[in-house]
Structure 1
Amino acid sequence: MTDRALVPRPRRLSAGLALRRNGAVLALAVLLAFNAAVTPYFLSPGTLNINLTQVAPIGIVAVAMTLVIATGGIDLSVGSLMAIAGALAPIVYAAALARFGSAGLGVALSIALPVLAAIALGWLNGAVITRYRIQPIVATLVLYIAGRGIAQVMTNGNVQSFAQPAFGFLGLGRILGVPFQALLMVAAVAAGAFALKRSLVGRQILAIGGNERAARLSGVPVVRVKRLVYALSGLASGVAGLITVAINSSSDANLVGSGMELDAIAAVAVGGTLLAGGRATVVGTLVGALIIQLVRTTLIANGVPDAAALVVKAALILGAVWIQRQGRS
């Protein structure tokens, strides 16, 4: 045996791992190219603004979902928290206007209090999971069911009109021509990416998802970190719910946040985050959210019913899981 044979050769990157790392970007590029060639006015400023407006709530919620999934958890309650926040906003505004007679204070409270309520309910999810050792899918399923019912009771099942211009800036405002909610999404992605890569909390999140028992023995405050990520999920859901209400100038407890659980989980999975936890990419989640939005745009532009998007999203999740398994093997 020669000395050369004793030297280990660098292993080539497997096709599965390369696909897992770059598959989402490739899929996004294909969708962009297809729509640019086939969809009329796809590259026009108006169409781009519409797509950015529609993808922003998905992106914001999906960033927080990435942190939750990175710990090995899941949050099925995000859509219901959006509905609760959306239902609270016009109620709080009307009460504040009647009490204090100030539209400015009413708008401030109609933003702050619903978001705080969503944060509290998200933290409650984390508390139930950590205190009673309930599986995340079960604990958040409870609020998924009850939360929308709470929102419907708050509104008596009626659509609430809320066309206050200052509040509407959340969903309809522009800064230098860019939708304000798109800027919020970019800020959320930047904060999430920084937290995962550069902060102690980010390392603790990945450690918990990789091996919770080892993380606990290493001194990681598992309970505190888990409650934090579910509270952040509540924060993201509350903001996304207010954006949705602002876009529509109304709050419908039956529709606000409907299906957001699937969109957010699909964005995380398609973006390359391991659904088992321990590995996450927030930038990949943004790519996944853009793919989810472009799939819907492509289907509608080609005359496919919007309901078919649900089947496509489910197929995307299955495909992402398959790609992850190929990469891990």
Structure 2
Amino acid sequence: MTTIETPAPQPSGTLSSGNRLLTLASRYGTFVAFLALILFNVAVTPNFLSLQTLNVNLTQVATIVIVATGMTLVIATGGIDLSVGSLMAIAGALAPMIFMGQFWPVENMALAVALAFLLPIAAAALFGLFNGFLVTRFSIQPIIATLVLFIAGRGIAQVMTNGNLQVFKNEGFQFIALGRIAGVPAQVLLMIVIVAAAFAMIRYTVIGRQIIAVGGNEKAARLTGIPVKRVKLFVYMISGALAGVAGLIVVARNSASDANLVGLGMELDAIAAVAVGGTLLTGGRANIVGTVLGALVIQLVRYTLLANGVPDAAALIVKAGLIVTAVFIQQRASKH
């Protein structure tokens, strides 16, 4: 008699080779992509290893990383913030108006410059708090709540400046974008400080654990005594403040403030960096280091295409492909 042997069932908890590959891709895919881009550019792109190229890429990615860090915290709670680009425009419009004396006569320029840093960031943080208020007080879905300022915020910035370009020059204010400390661009050092602070907060503090808990299971978090509303207000406020910082860097770098262009599309770059970096868009996880790598991958893709004669529009298509791939891998990996 012929016997048919049936394969022994896999032990519980083991993964098939396909599932194992998805898991590895979700964990290390961003780093592998980052390494592949570097190796490709080393081999193909002239002068890629020069200090000038390093400086260009780091200064271009700094604002994306700063905004994406705040976005990571919001997404970790299960939310999203579409208003960051518009808040950059508001902060970028407000700062020059302060030290150029458009609100009151400037008598002490040092004080005016200090206020040009502090007030726009505070204003952006308050707008972020407004987003959080809509989400927590009225239970409006985050994508709708932040869409309000996505639309109205840029209009506010345009009204503030009458839609005009504000050209200025002030070395004290522009140090945030053009200055160097020990040879390192000030904006890059600021980016590192912000990323390190966010990483430490998520990893080692109570509020960091609460952020993850709220995104993982909001109902359970509430039942365990976590102040869910305050946590959400906090992350939206931080997201707004960091958007304000990024807005100041952009206008300081350009020596001009254009409410029509500052922060335009930044919300998409930030969300892309978070998604590519491995933070689940459904909440419950905050991969700060992954977000930085995701932003670097997005920047390197754009640089690689431009350096090799491919139109900038192609970078948008590749960026969209990266987001779809990242989300697909996350969803498939989370099911196993």
TM over 0.5: yes
2:209 alignment counterpart: 203
How far apart, CA to CA, are the structure 1 residues paired with 2:55 and 2:95? Answer: 25
How far apart, CA to CA, are the structure 2 residues paired with 1:97 and 1:325? Answer: 50
Q: Which consecutive unaligned segments of at least 5 residues does structure 1 have?
A: none
Matches within 5 A, 1:163-178: 163-178=169-184
1:71 aligns with 2:71: no
**CA pair 155-96 structure 1, distance change in 2 beyond 3 A:** closer
1:193 alignment counterpart: 199
How far apart, CA to CA, are the structure 2 residues paired with 1:123 and 1:174? Answer: 32
> Are the counterparts in 2 of residues 96 and 105 from structure 1 also a CA contact under 8 Å?
no
SS at match of 1:133: coil
Structure 1 or 2, whichever has the larger Rg, is: 2
Give the percent of matched residue pairs that are identical in Structure 1 and Structure 2: 62
> Are the counterparts in 1 of residues 79 and 142 from structure 2 also a CA contact under 8 Å?
yes
> Are the counterparts in 2 of residues 96 and 102 from structure 1 also a CA contact under 8 Å?
no
1:248 alignment counterpart: 254
2:164 alignment counterpart: 158
How far apart, CA to CA, are the structure 2 residues paired with 1:146 and 1:264? Answer: 20
> Are the counterparts in 2 of residues 272 and 284 from structure 1 also a CA contact under 8 Å?
yes
2:3 alignment counterpart: none
How far apart, CA to CA, are the structure 2 residues paired with 1:162 and 1:228? Answer: 34
> Are the counterparts in 1 of residues 99 and 106 from structure 2 also a CA contact under 8 Å?
no
1:117 aligns with 2:123: yes
Matches within 5 A, 1:78-227: 78-95=84-101, 99-227=105-233
1:269 aligns with 2:275: yes
Map Cα deviations across residues 225-274 of structure 1 (whole Å, 9 max, x no partner): 00000000011000000000111011011111011011000000000000
Instruction: Choose which of 287, 299, 305 in structure 2 pairs with 1:299.
Output: 305
2:31 alignment counterpart: 25
How far apart, CA to CA, are the structure 2 residues paired with 1:23 and 1:199? Answer: 28
> Are the counterparts in 2 of residues 97 and 103 from structure 1 also a CA contact under 8 Å?
no
Shift of 1:303: 1.4
2:239 alignment counterpart: 233
How far apart, CA to CA, are the structure 1 residues paired with 2:12 and 2:116? Answer: 62
Shift of 1:133: 0.3
SS at match of 1:68: helix
Read off the aligned partner of 1:250 and give its amino acid letter: A
> Are the counterparts in 2 of residues 20 and 324 from structure 1 also a CA contact under 8 Å?
yes
Shift of 1:195: 1.0
How far apart, CA to CA, are the structure 1 residues paired with 2:122 and 2:278? Answer: 30
**CA pair 133-9 structure 1, distance change in 2 beyond 3 A:** closer
TM-score (norm 2): 0.93
How far apart, CA to CA, are the structure 1 residues paired with 2:141 and 2:210? Answer: 20
How far apart, CA to CA, are the structure 1 residues paired with 2:313 and 2:56? Answer: 20
2:5 alignment counterpart: none
Shift of 1:85: 0.2
> Are the counterparts in 1 of residues 97 and 103 from structure 2 also a CA contact under 8 Å?
no
Shift of 1:148: 0.5
Read off the aligned partner of 2:283 and give its amino acid letter: G
Read off the aligned partner of 1:283 and give its amino acid letter: V
Map Cα deviations across residues 178-201 of structure 1 (whole Å, 9 max, x no partner): 111111111111111111111111
Between stretches 293-302 and 70-79, larger displacement belongs to 293-302
Q: Could you list the runs of 4 or more consecutive aligned residues of structure 1 that deviate by over 4 angstroms after TM superposition? A: none
Matched positions, count: 323
1:14 alignment counterpart: 20
Shift of 1:299: 1.2
> Are the counterparts in 2 of residues 121 and 231 from structure 1 also a CA contact under 8 Å?
yes
> Are the counterparts in 2 of residues 97 and 106 from structure 1 also a CA contact under 8 Å?
no
How far apart, CA to CA, are the structure 2 residues paired with 1:237 and 1:162? Answer: 21
Map Cα deviations across residues 26-46 of structure 1 (whole Å, 9 max, x no partner): 000001111111111111111
> Are the counterparts in 1 of residues 122 and 241 from structure 2 also a CA contact under 8 Å?
yes
Between stretches 301-310 and 97-106, larger displacement belongs to 97-106
How far apart, CA to CA, are the structure 2 residues paired with 1:254 and 1:114? Answer: 17
Between stretches 287-296 and 89-98, larger displacement belongs to 89-98
Shift of 1:99: 2.3
How far apart, CA to CA, are the structure 2 residues paired with 1:102 and 1:135? Answer: 45
How far apart, CA to CA, are the structure 2 residues paired with 1:121 and 1:143? Answer: 8
Instruction: Choose which of 30, 36, 39 in structure 1 pairs with 2:42.
Output: 36
Shift of 1:98: 5.4
> Are the counterparts in 1 of residues 84 and 240 from structure 2 also a CA contact under 8 Å?
yes
